[in-house]
Chain A
Amino acid sequence: MTRVEADPILNQPQIYDPYDYALHDDPYPVYRRLRDEFPLYYNRKHDFYAVSRYADCMAVLRNFRTFINGRSTTLEKEIIPGSLPFILSMDPPDHTRLRHLMVDQFRPHNVAPLESVVRETAQKLLAPHAGTGRIDIIADFAAKLPMAIICALMGVRPEDEDMLRGWTDDIVHREDGSNEIAEVNITGTRSLLGYFEEMIQARLARGEAGEDIVGQLIAFERQGKLNHAEVLGYLYLLAIAGNETTTKLIGNVTYQLWENRHARDRLVADPALAAAAVEETLRIDGPTQMQGRETSEPFELYGHTIPAGSKVAVILTSGNRDERHYEDPESFKIDRGSRDHLGFGGGLHSCLGAALARLEGRVALEEMLKLMPDWDIDLANTRRMHSAYVRGYTHLPLIFTPRSAA
């Protein structure tokens, strides 16, 4: 008897393929089926397991001895050639050492002073569109705001922001249905790392490390707390993480509040609810849909043994919509107040930049409510990003009542 006949999990219908572009429009019915029928799922084509219930997602995220990040949090067997170690591709104790170096700057208290610069940047980006009644809220705004902030924190020249964003987009790109590393992933990685190397060398040549994140990382390397590859790996991660997901978060907030007009009406009347609206979007339609782990040892779940060395997909947004954990989970409720959602992951690898993302999301929404409170979406002209991990728009055109210039 072959293994396939022996183990029913290997004969499950293949309903979840995160690389399939067709899934990206609306993955949520598939997630619901996974939770109800296949709480431990196995994908034969790409050879990975998946968990989708809240309790299982949480158990995997917390159990970092069995479910390690290993070389990456992707489900791919290979990593992009030329990439360097960063905290998402590490486990304790190295992960602990690196994360502790930067964690202080990302605490809510230390991020809060950035509010004024985030707001000024948001206002500057939105203002030219206020009188036209049209804006592509991703291309014209949400793609630019987080990149401008993270570039400012890293000391990247503003005129280089678009170039860096191009490279980070290339790095996360995957072809339809494929989990193979593509040429653009490699060239994007090489360009981004090369840019940071040049930046560091230029500062060293000038004899000024600087006061920003790059300057701090240079100082950590001098103190022997980081090696050079780790410095570059940190900058690589911050550039990607500081860009992609917050952009998609702002777009998803825009969509959710359009679909749930009653919630937007309440926000217009009471903008103090903006943070709650962002939080509920993180739960019900967060940009990071899924993250991968790898088993360091066999693990028993639902009567099946996941072998050591297996890839496991943790479907965060499915956990966030689990009826076993939340009441009426597929409804957008601005007052829900869930603080335990998995929108930023959970456990040791939970998003380092969560406080910054919350701040940017809230301020972006507050400024949009001031200028275009009645936005409508030109649905026919929206475009989605295609990623196994991140859900959101690349183009989200809005139409609204123009404001006459003050």
Chain B
Amino acid sequence: MSDVAFTYIQPDGEEKQVEAMEGMTLMEAALFNGIDGIQGLCGGICSCATCHVALDQALYDRLEAPSEGEAEMIAMLADHGPTSRLGCQVSINEALRGARIRVLGTEA
């Protein structure tokens, strides 16, 4: 599997470009690269909502829609928006190449 390069915009506005292995999730790649605002407390079972990110509309549309379980979790977050996702539910693939991922840093 190849690496995909994209950028996280951390809650304080600082940008960090990373390269991550395809098949990892946005949450895992964030922990891997020490991105602020992603806690990944539950390890990716869609239970803690501490990996809240916002995507560009175009990217959001290109990815598979969130599952019912993920959508329910997102709906409970005070700062969610129309392109909110949980990073642990977004698999890294070619569609992410060059993407800019805004980290919302939602507290648990």
Q: Measuring CB to CB, which residues of chain A are less than 8 angstroms from any residue of chain B?
A: 58, 62-65, 92-93, 96-97, 99-100, 103, 106-110, 338-340, 344-352, 354-355
Question: Distance in Å from the Cβ of A81 to the closest Cβ of chain B?
Answer: 29
What 4 additional pairs, Cβ within 8 angstroms, besides A107-B67, A110-B69, A348-B44?
Answer: A92-B24, A108-B46, A345-B43, A352-B43
Please report B residues at the A interface, Cβ cutoff 8 Å: 21, 23-24, 28, 31-32, 34, 39-48, 50, 67-69, 72, 107-108
Q: Chain A residues near B41: list those with CB within 8 A.
A: 339-340, 346-347, 350
Closest CB pairs A-B (n = 5): A350-B43, A109-B69, A340-B108, A339-B108, A107-B46
Contact status B47-A96, CB under 8 Å: no
| A339, B44: Cβ atoms closer than 8 Å | no
CA distance A288 to B45 in the complex (A): 19
Q: Do B43 and A351 have beta carbons less than 8 Å apart?
A: yes
> Are B68's CB and A348's CB within 8 A?
no
Where chain B touches its partner, the secondary structure class is loop
CB distance from A241 to the nearest CB of B (A): 13
A354 CB contacts on chain B under 8 angstroms: 42, 45, 47
With most chain A CB atoms within 10 A of its CB, the pick from B43, B45, B108 is: B45
Q: Are B67 and A109 in contact (CB under 8 A)?
A: yes
B43: chain A residues at CB < 8 Å are: 99, 344-352
A118 CB to closest chain B CB, in angstroms? Answer: 17
15 residue pairs from A and B, CB less than 8 Å apart: A64-B31, A65-B32, A93-B24, A99-B44, A107-B45, A107-B46, A108-B46, A109-B67, A109-B72, A339-B41, A339-B108, A340-B39, A346-B39, A346-B40, A350-B44
Who on chain B is nearest to A344 by CB? B42
| Pairwise interchain contact B68-A93, C-beta atoms closer than 8 A | no
Other-chain residue from A63, A96, A108, A350 in contact with B23 (beta carbon distance below 8 A): A96
B106 to chain A, nearest CB (A): 11
The chain A residue sitting closest to B48, CB to CB, is A339
Q: For residue A103, which residues in chain B have a CB less than 8 angstroms away from its CB?
A: 44-45
Alpha-carbon distance A99/B42, docked complex (angstroms)? 13
CB pair B21–A348 under 8 Å, yes or no, is no
Cα(A117)–Cα(B24), bound, Å: 33
Given known A-B contacts A107-B69, A339-B108, A340-B50, A355 and B45 have beta carbons under 8 A apart: yes
- A63 partner residues in chain B, CB cutoff 8 A: 34
Residues on B with C-beta less than 8 A from A97 are 23
Q: Name which residue of chain B comes closest to A96, CB basis.
A: B24
Alpha-carbon distance between A349 and B31 when the two chains are bound, in angstroms? 12
Set of chain B residues within 8 Å of A339, measured between Cβ atoms: 41, 48, 108
Asked if B45 and A108 make an inter-chain contact with CB atoms under 8 angstroms apart, the answer reads: yes
